[in-house]
Amino acid sequence: MRHEKDWYKDQVIYQIYPRSFKDGNGDGIGDLKGMAEKLDYLKELGVTAVWMSPVYASPNVDNGYDISDYRQIMEEFGTMEDWERFRDGAHERGIAIIMDLVLNHSSDRHQWFRESKKSRNNPFRDYYIWRDPAPDGGAPNGWLSVFGGSAWEYVEERGQYYLHFFAKEQPDLNWDNDETREGIFDIIRFWNEKGVDGYRVDAISYLDKGLDGRADMSEAFGTSSCANLEGTHRHIKDMVKKTIKPDNLMTVGEVIIRNDQDARDYTSAASGEFDMAIAFVPPIVEIKTWSPERFKREVEENYECLKEDGWWARFLSNHDKPRQVSLYGDDKRYWKESAKMLGCYLHTLPGTPFVYQGEELGMTNYGLPSIEDYDDIDTKNYYHTMIQEGAAKEEALAQAQSVSRDNARTPMQWDESPNAGFSPSRPWLPVNPNYTQINARQQMEDPDSIFQFYQKLIVLRKENPVMVHGDFRLCGPKEGPVIAYTRSLGEETWLAVHNFSDREIWFEHENVSEDSLVIISNYKDPKLKEGAVQLRPYETLVIRISLQSN
């Protein structure tokens, strides 16, 4: 595909979690063949790019985020030919391919690590981060891994510990070693040559570990204190310059953003790193801290911060978060209204929208009945830690159910046939029983469905540059559950209003009038008056306003 300058700005990117998308060979696990079968579905939805979570060879300790061979396809997902068929089918339909690059760590089964752990003087000895034990024989320091427990693991053969920020089967790569970096850059070039259009770069904020005392990881979620150190930015710039810029590929980095400076460092054109950033927030933190007020504040701040020289990745869901309608909306009484409202919010903000599989159907959280039903390593560790700390089983399970990443990973709900049409066999993770009411087949036929609402949003975005390039201005009160803003480009001004609550609320804006043109809304008859609109539960609407009367 051709990659014009800034091409990523007009995209609508759809994230596929391959394990849960569609099973093409009947073994209960989603795969590339299944993905290819659903390309027409994606075309019909209207998305212009697909980001697939990792499909490389992996022992699946962290579902593909532990890679044992970056040049091979995971057996369960198919072969390189299957990948190429998917690529060709996508490109024929004008859909770009974004691969997930996991470069902070590899699997402990990767050949580099298998060699590295053998001795202190083998050719791969410095590919990972090894340290001598502390004087008492324990770990070199008290750092904790993101998934719980120590971030260090002892290896007999070397008499040393290696560092792992995630599971112990995910040893961190040593980016300060020239050969490691060259090896990594060759992997990227390999995929460039295969015709990939861009990358989502996983957990990339910690390449420089700051082990010399600049960082501290001794608290749970302490990763932010060792994020974004000088060496991390140096390594990213080097990688982007050598492997990404020559082909003008798209990049989105999954990073830690603590302030405006971090956002600019990662995503301004001037700094030469990524085109956009996905800011990582642990699900448990997001569940506890989100609010419409916080959304308003953050959207305004990061708009101001990047409007001159940067761009935004917009997402409400991914494979690491609970389902958006369950988290930010109401997945019962106002299920359809709130799912549409969230979609409209996502697509009308400045930036490139990322839609996570099933979001376009309003798929909801499924609290699996017992801890044995869970697959996610993070959920299991979390549950067992709670039990160890004295929590009752029911309490630990309830917590795990609300934060589990498996909420987003239950199989895609295609139709009302057994296993939701995902697979003829028992799926690797249970299907949400609500698939008989929530599924793609029904929604594709129903003009009032969430799916068709997403279709409309995507068409609007393709046809109206104001949605992509318009200036952004927050309006209305900073407090309260209504998020409203204008987007303006030339003569055109659109006002978007979203009610993040189940209450009826009047929203006032001097340029609203009874006959303002309604671009899109989730209720049939928006209640527009002179200077105000009466919002119903989870109502969303976009209207064209005229600023002339000002």
- Residue numbers at the binding site for ligand GLC (CB under 6 A): 62, 65, 102, 166, 202-203, 254, 280, 319-320
Sequence-distant (6+) residues with CB within 8 A of 396 are 371, 383, 386, 387
CA angle 499, 503, 504 (to 5 degrees): 80
Q: Closer to ligand GLC at the Cβ: 253 or 350?
A: 253
Q: Does 25 bind Ca ion (CB under 5 A)?
A: yes
- The minimum distance between CB 80 and Ca ion, in angstroms, equals 16
From Ca ion, ligand GLC, none, interface partner of 356 (C-beta below 5 to 8 A by class): none
| Catalytic residue flag (residue 254) | yes
Residue selected from 15, 16, 20, 31 as contacting Ca ion according to rule CB under 5 A: 31
77: partner contacted, choices ligand GLC, Ca ion, none (Cβ within 5-8 A by kind)? none
* 31 touches, from Ca ion, ligand GLC, none (C-beta below 5 to 8 Å by class): Ca ion
Which residues, including other chains, have CB under 8 Å from residue 267's CB and lie 6 or more apart? 253, 273, 274, 275, 276, 277, 306, 310, 311, 312
Our finding on whether 375 is near Ca ion (CB under 5 A) is no
Closest approach, Cβ 82 to Ca ion, in A, equals: 10
Of 66 and 208, CB closest to ligand GLC: 66
Sign of CA dihedral 77, 83, 89, 94: positive
Contact 126, 22 (CB under 8 A): no
**Which residue, 320 or 539, is less far from ligand GLC as judged by CB?**
320
Q: Which of 183, 280, 169 is CA-nearest to residue 239?
A: 183
**Whole-number Å distance between alpha carbons of 41 and 84:** 19
Q: Which of 66, 202, 265, 360 is catalytic?
A: 202
Q: Pick what 23 binds: Ca ion, ligand GLC, none; C-beta below 5 to 8 Å, kind-dependent.
A: Ca ion
DSSP string, 498-514: EE-SSS-EEEE-TT--T
Are the C-beta atoms of residues 411 and 30 closer than 8 Å to each other?
yes
State the binding partner of 442 from ligand GLC, Ca ion, none, CB within 5 to 8 A by kind. none
Least distance CB 47 / Ca ion (angstroms): 23
How far are the Cα atoms of 44, 237, 255, 262, 311 from residue 273, in angstroms, in the given order?
A: 33, 5, 12, 11, 12
* CA–CA dist 160, 144 (Å, integer): 17
Q: Which residues pair with 130 in a beta bridge?
A: 162
CB count, 10 Å around CB of 401? Answer: 20
- Binder among 12, 29, 45, 458 for Ca ion (CB under 5 A): 29
Q: In angstroms, give the least distance from the CB of 64 to ligand GLC.
A: 8
Stretch that binds Ca ion, among 19-27, 54-62, 161-169, 191-199 (CB under 5 A): 19-27
Question: Has 202 been annotated as catalytic?
Answer: yes
273 binds, among ligand GLC, Ca ion, none (CB under 5 to 8 A by kind): none
Report the residue number, 256 or 495, with the smaller CB distance to ligand GLC: 256
Q: Tell me the chain's radius of gyration from C-alpha atoms.
A: 24
What is the distance between the alpha carbons of residues 292 and 502, in angstroms, rounded to a whole number? 13
Please check whether residue 166 is in contact with residue 254, taking contact to mean a CB–CB distance below 8 angstroms.
no
Shortest distance (Å) from residue 166 CB to ligand GLC:
5
Residue listed under structure tokens 């589990």: 404
Nearer to ligand GLC, 110 or 319 (CB): 319
Residue with the CB atom nearest ligand GLC in the bound state: 65
29 binds, among ligand GLC, Ca ion, none (CB under 5 to 8 A by kind): Ca ion
Query: For residues 25 and 177, which CB has a smaller minimum distance to Ca ion in the complex?
Result: 25
The partner in contact with residue 62, picked from Ca ion, ligand GLC, none with C-beta cut-offs of 5 to 8 angstroms by kind, is ligand GLC
Q: Is the CB of 202 or the CB of 330 nearer to ligand GLC?
A: 202
Q: Which residue is nearest to Ca ion (CB)?
A: 31
Q: Which two tokens stand for residue 475?
A: 């309006």
Instruction: Determine the interface stretch with Ca ion among 16-24, 258-266, 483-491, 539-547 (rule: CB under 5 A).
Output: 16-24
Q: Choosing from 254, 273, 330, 337, which is the catalytic residue? A: 254
The least CB distance from residue 52 to Ca ion, in Å, is 15
Which strand (E) or helix (H) includes residue 154? strand 152-155
Near Ca ion in 193-252, by CB under 5 A = none
Determine, following the binding rule CB under 5 A, whether residue 79 of this chain makes contact with Ca ion.
no
Smallest separation, CB 147 to ligand GLC (Å): 8
CA distance linking residue 198 with residue 3, whole number of Å: 10
> Quick one: 254 or 273, whose CB is closer to ligand GLC?
254
What is the Cα–Cα distance from 348 to 350, expressed in whole angstroms? 7
H or E element, residue 80: helix 80-92
| Residues taking part in catalysis | 202, 254
Residues of the shown chain interacting with Ca ion in the complex, contacts defined by CB under 5 A: 23, 25, 27, 29, 31
